[in-house]
Amino acid sequence: MSAPRPATVLPVRGTSPYDVVVGHGLTDRLPALLGESVERVAVLYAGSLGELADPIVDALVEHYDVLALGLPDGERAKTAPVAADCWEALGEAGFTRSDAVVTIGGGATTDLGGFVAATWLRGVRVVHVPTTLLAMVDAAVGGKTGINTGAGKNLVGSFHEPAGVLCDLSLLASLPRAELVAGLGEVVKCGFIADPTILEVVERSDPAALTHDSPELRELVERAIRVKVDVVVDDLRETGGVGGHPGREVLNYGHTLAHAIERTSDYTVRHGEAVAIGCVFVAELAARAGSLDPALVERHRSALSRVGLPTAYDAESMGGASFEDLHAAMKVDKKARGSQLRFVVLDALATPRILAGPGEDDLRAAFAAVASAG
């Protein structure tokens, strides 16, 4: 057996720099990320993940006065009442500005915990310990936090950059395969928009061997985080990119249709699965309304299906939406501006731009190309 590889530290520059640490068995790095002034730590963790959270809480108790708060699982944590319960608990414990929050869970937990940290005393330090692939490569990095309201997802939130992110790949051992595969949707997306080496790793790896302990998964995680970090640092507040680059909006590749599929399926289609279909859709769109090489459209299908993601919209199993339903849902996406639909499209590999207001014929034809026959 070879010696365990040391952790990889990915620095995030910007107004408040922090590190994303990737590796195995990283709990002892938490105090360094939390910083020296911290006395009390509130651990906000997904209640169903007690077995993952307990050893981390035990390690923190050695250094800090710890308040451990178990949250409802997944999306049920992202509500105003849950945030209010956390505020009350922090208030009772007398949390001050020099205390900190640690989140342990998937993206729903890091979003809620980040929001609580952003709002308590107008902002205290937070370190995220993501436990899903999606949260490692996406939700925990970049400083967006949020909760849902009755009117939709992520409508209330704030930008609040973490003081650090600890991506301990060992935590993925218990993650159901379908959740891991869904996270790979965002990873492959990063391959198309910015880092083609990601696609090469996917294409040469045995997909079944992409597990929590595989060097290939680690390389994919590190590369996808780098893509997100680079984009976010260049465009911290989503005001746009420079030189024709879409800025942070590039991370929305495949997401306009994906959000419509999620919504019309009442969120029974996983985000990463919907993103996979959305990426094939925008590739088809770019081949029609732009100049994307058809071979690259096929590469979308082959890379995404290789890791086990859907590349076609199957109305029967995905909520039964028609093109008209999905078109209408896309128009109310919060990322649409005014009445004009905007899509991130590629002119070539890793060459993204914005396509605003494509014709309905092109949209319909691109959709027909991703709709399953039958």
Ligand X SMILES: NC(=O)c1ccc[n+]([C@@H]2O[C@H](COP(=O)([O-])OP(=O)(O)OC[C@H]3O[C@@H](n4cnc5c(N)ncnc54)[C@H](O)[C@@H]3O)[C@@H](O)[C@H]2O)c1
**DSSP 3-state of 200:** helix
Confirm or deny that 85 is annotated as ligand binding.
no
Binding region for ligand X (CB under 6 A): 46, 48-49, 52, 73-75, 78, 105-109, 111, 131-132, 134-135, 138-139, 142, 144, 153-154, 171-172, 174-175, 179
Q: How far is the CB of 270 from ligand X (least distance, A)?
A: 7
Minimum distance of ligand X from residue 144's CB (angstroms): 4
Q: For residues 180 and 318, which CB has a smaller minimum distance to ligand X in the complex?
A: 180
CB-CB contact of 366 with 288 (8 Å): yes
User: Catalytic residue among 36, 51, 62, 122, which?
Assistant: 122
Nearer to ligand X by Cβ, of 38 and 194: the residue is 194
First and final C-alpha spacing in the chain: 51
The alpha carbon of residue 60 and the mean position of all alpha carbons in its chain are separated, in whole angstroms, by 26
Shorter beta-carbon distance to ligand X: residue 115 or 120: 115
**Does 76 carry a binding-site annotation?**
yes
Reply yes or no on whether 334 is catalytic: no
Give the integer Cα–Cα distance in Å for 150 and 356. 29
Of the candidates 264, 260, 271, the residue with the CA atom closest to the CA atom of residue 317: 264
> Looking at beta carbons only, is 108 or 124 nearer to ligand X?
108
Cβ closest to ligand X, residue 221 vs residue 286: 221
**For residue 356, which phi and psi values (nearest 5 degrees)?**
-105, 135
Nearest Cα to 172, choosing from 135, 220, 216? 135
Neighbouring-strand partners of residue 11:
19
> Of the listed 255, 263, 270, 288, which one is catalytic?
255
Closest approach, Cβ 182 to ligand X, in A, equals 6
CA dist 115 and 170 (Å) reads 26
- Annotated ligand binding at 334? The verdict is no
- Asked about 228 being catalytic, the answer comes back as yes
Minimum CB separation of residue 371 from ligand X in Å reads 25
Catalytic residue at 238? yes
Active site residue 327: no
Question: Sign of torsion, CA 211 214 216 220?
Answer: positive
Confirm whether residue 77 is marked as ligand binding. yes
Kindly state the DSSP code that residue 221 receives in the 8-state scheme: H
**What's the min distance (Å) between Cβ of 284 and ligand X?**
24
255 is annotated as an active-site residue:
yes
Of 271, 288, 306, 342, the catalytic one is: 271
Of 128, 218, 223, 259, which is the active-site residue?
A: 259
CA-wise closest residue to 257 among 286, 226, 294: 286
Active site residue 252: yes
255 is in an annotated binding site: yes
Q: Which of 35, 75, 8 is nearest to 215 (CA)?
A: 8
Q: Choosing from 29, 128, 248, 270, which is the catalytic residue?
A: 248
State which residue, 70 or 207, has the beta carbon closest to ligand X. Answer: 70
Question: Which helix H or strand E contains 247, and what residues bound it?
Answer: none
Shortest separation between residue 238's beta carbon and ligand X, angstroms: 11
> Is 123 labelled a binding residue?
no
3-class secondary structure, 125: strand
264 marked as binding residue: no
Backbone φ and ψ of 96, nearest 5°: -110, 175
- Distance in angstroms (rounded) separating the CA atoms of residues 10 and 7: 10
| Annotated catalytic residue 177 | no
Rounded Cα–Cα distance for residues 118 and 90 (Å): 13
Nearest to 180 by CA among 226, 214, 142, 152: 214
Considering the candidates 128, 212, 228, 300, report the single residue annotated as catalytic.
228
Question: What residue numbers does the annotated binding site for Zn(2+) cover?
Answer: 186, 255, 271
Question: What residue numbers does the annotated binding site for NAD(+) cover?
Answer: 73-78, 107-111, 131-132, 144, 153
Please list the active-site residues: 122, 144, 186, 228, 238, 248, 252, 255, 259, 271
